[in-house]
């Protein structure tokens, strides 16, 4: 979901931790030594590390304000511990990731500093004792070991800074309006595609919040309405895993599999505003020669929405996308300002998947089908009971049943 239009990258930026927050953490203290031992997986990009992380291993990351999606990917991979170079809660806003890790029983050692990337190599064995990180029994670095209490109090502390983040968000939004007003108002820059949207529903899948559950819930809807299936980067793999073939893939192509890119879906590569599209080379190397580019400062998921709206989609159903203020902030990118404006542009066409699952019911319910089957059985029994052939049919069925039992008994004697 990251890409050319996602704004400044906060992963490598050093965010100062508020002094009051540091005092809070030190006052609470770290838990006793617990001797967690595991193989180290080291990467500054959490989403890349999660792909190769195995159960019981220790993730070494550099992720300021650990967001919910990143935390859930670490939980799904089965991390035993997470060592974060940066503050997992910087105090800028109440991010959701640390709470998810701690609730899952994953040790979180926070703010250990960037030197660990020079001291630890992929595959080495690390040990976590409280807030200490050891290599071959020797102290490597020390950090802040989070507990449920420290995370809760840090989140409460960070809520006081929401107003500052909101002001920054509004400023970024105004800057985005100046850059992309032609795209937002008149659709200038939306590429021509071969996929037909006119009068159809479009289902846009982002590998974000609860995307697996939402796709499962929408199965009756997908079967009945047959919407255009759009995967945003890794969302295409989510569709394939659920048993669906995406009609279109939109994104910068950094987190989508080769299988998805060669599945026959139409490819729309998210590009920078100046036309540079780093992901296009990868697509062409796979033999896909008819991919188109979409230059925009928006996020990839917003590009997918703008494209579906511009091409005449009747309804846009979003799976795993960001739908509220906390989720916008939790994404941690200035480029998320485009998300707010995209929703204003798309307007009443956009429905969150959770809303569809609450409002939509299949036209033929399961209970109605059960009643229909029961009624048919009662009718058959009644017909056999009042007609002359009824006893003959019943006798034939009994004879066949006894023959089946005799055959079954013969298999074991």
Torsion sign (Cα): 361, 205, 80, 328:
negative
pLDDT tens digits, residue range 133-152? 999 889 999 999 999 999 99
- Residue pair 339/299 in contact by the 8 Å Cβ criterion: yes
- The total of other beta-carbon atoms located within 10 Å of residue 305's CB is 27
Instruction: Return phi, psi of residue 61, to 5°.
Output: -130, 170
pLDDT tens digits, residue range 150-204? 999 988 888 777 676 666 666 666 666 666 666 666 666 789 999 999 999 999 9
Query: Pairing relation of β-strands 132-135 and 144-145?
Result: unpaired
* Mean of pLDDT values over 218-232: 93
Among the residue ranges 47-61, 110-124, 146-160, 261-275, the one predicted with the least confidence is 146-160
Among the residue ranges 172-176, 228-232, 301-305, the one predicted with the least confidence is 172-176
Token digits of residue 221: 């809807």
- Residue pair 80/57 in contact by the 8 Å Cβ criterion: yes
Among the residue ranges 142-151, 210-219, 319-328, 366-375, the one predicted with the least confidence is 319-328
Mean pLDDT of the chain: 81
42 strand-pairing partners: 60
**DSSP-based three-state secondary structure for 113:** coil
Q: Please report the pLDDT score of residue 275 as a whole number.
A: 87
Which 8-state DSSP code applies to residue 347?
G
- Name the helix (H) or strand (E) containing 370: helix 366-386
* Mean of pLDDT values over 352-377: 65
Q: How far is CA 111 from CA 2, 19, 293, in A?
A: 24, 14, 39
- The total of other beta-carbon atoms located within 10 Å of residue 360's CB is 17
Radius of gyration of the chain (CA): 27
* Mean of pLDDT values over 75-91: 93
Q: Please report the pLDDT score of residue 368 as a whole number.
A: 66
Domain pair 19-159 / 188-359, same fold: no
% of the chain surpassing 90 pLDDT: 46
* Mean of pLDDT values over 272-281: 89
Q: Give residue 63's pLDDT band: very low, low, confident or very high (50, 70, 90).
A: very high
If one compares 257 and 404, the residue with the highest pLDDT of the two is 257
CA distance 85 to 87: 7
* Residue whose C-alpha is closest to residue 50's, from 37, 69, 32: 69
Torsion sign (Cα): 25, 27, 32, 35:
positive
Q: Give residue 263's pLDDT band: very low, low, confident or very high (50, 70, 90).
A: very high
Domain spanning 19-159 has what CATH number?
Answer: 3.50.30.10
**DSSP-based three-state secondary structure for 263:** coil
The CATH classification of domain 188-359, taken from the options 3.40.50, 3.80.10, 3.10.50, 3.30.980: 3.40.50
Residue 130 reports pLDDT greater than 50: yes
CA distance 298 to 5: 5
Q: Tell me the H-state helices in 104-208.
A: 116-119, 148-159, 162-186
Cα-based angle 196, 343, 359 (whole degrees, multiple of 5): 75
% of the chain surpassing 70 pLDDT: 73
* Residue whose C-alpha is closest to residue 293's, from 409, 189, 205: 189
Domain boundaries defined on the chain: 19-159, 188-359, 366-405
- Residue pair 130/31 in contact by the 8 Å Cβ criterion: yes
- Residue pair 88/107 in contact by the 8 Å Cβ criterion: no
Residue 276 reports pLDDT greater than 60: yes
* Mean of pLDDT values over 297-322: 89
Among the residue ranges 79-93, 237-251, 386-400, the one predicted with the least confidence is 386-400
Length of the chain: 413
* Residue whose C-alpha is closest to residue 208's, from 359, 45, 71, 355: 71
Task: Map 62-107 to HEC letters.
Answer: CCCCCCHHHHHHHHHHCCCEEEECCCCCCCCCCCCHHHHHHHCCCE
Q: Give residue 213's pLDDT band: very low, low, confident or very high (50, 70, 90).
A: confident
Which 8-state DSSP code applies to residue 349?
G
């Amino acid at each position: 979901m990251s890409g050319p239009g996602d704004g400044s990258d906060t992963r490598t930026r050093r965010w100062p931790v508020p002094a009051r927050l540091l005092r809070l953490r030190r006052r609470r203290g770290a838990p006793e030594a617990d001797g967690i031992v595991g193989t180290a997986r080291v990467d500054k990009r959490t989403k890349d590390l999660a792909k190769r992380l195995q159960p019981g291993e220790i993730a070494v990351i550099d992720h300021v304000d650990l967001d919910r999606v990143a935390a859930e990917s670490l939980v799904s991979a089965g991390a035993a511990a997470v060592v974060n170079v940066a503050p997992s809660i910087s105090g800028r806003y109440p991010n959701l990731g640390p709470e998810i890790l701690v609730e899952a029983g994953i040790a979180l050692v926070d703010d250990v500093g960037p030197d660990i990337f020079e001291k630890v190599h992929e595959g080495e064995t690390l040990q976590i004792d409280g807030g200490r990180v050891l290599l071959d029994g020797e102290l490597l670095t020390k950090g802040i070991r989070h507990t449920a209490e420290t995370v809760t109090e840090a989140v409460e502390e960070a809520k006081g800074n929401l107003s500052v983040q909101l002001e920054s968000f509004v400023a970024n939004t105004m800057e985005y309006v100046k850059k992309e007003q032609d795209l937002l108002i008149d659709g200038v820059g939306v590429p021509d595609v071969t996929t037909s949207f006119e009068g159809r529903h479009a289902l846009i899948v982002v590998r974000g919040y609860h995307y697996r559950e939402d796709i499962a819930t929408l199965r009756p809807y997908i079967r009945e309405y047959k919407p255009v299936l759009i995967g945003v980067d890794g969302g295409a793999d989510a569709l394939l895993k659920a048993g669906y073939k995406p009609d279109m893939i939109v994104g910068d192509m950094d987190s989508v599999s080769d299988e998805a890119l060669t599945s026959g879906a139409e490819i729309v590569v998210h590009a920078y505003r100046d036309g540079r599209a780093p992901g296009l080379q990868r697509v062409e190397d796979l033999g896909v020669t008819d991919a188109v580019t979409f230059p925009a400062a928006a996020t990839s998921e917003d590009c997918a929405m703008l494209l579906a709206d511009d091409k005449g989609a009747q309804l846009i159903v979003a799976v795993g996308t960001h739908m509220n203020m906390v989720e916008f902030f939790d994404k941690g990118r200035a480029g998320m300002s485009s998300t707010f404006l995209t929703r204003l542009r798309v307007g009443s066409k956009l429905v969150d998947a959770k809303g569809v699952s609450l409002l939509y019911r299949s036209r033929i319910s399961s209970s109605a089908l059960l009643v229909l089957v029961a009624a048919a059985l009662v009718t058959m029994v009644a017909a056999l009971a009042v007609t002359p052939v009824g006893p003959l049919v019943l006798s034939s069925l009994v004879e066949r049943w006894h023959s089946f039992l005799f055959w079954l008994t013969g298999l074991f004697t």
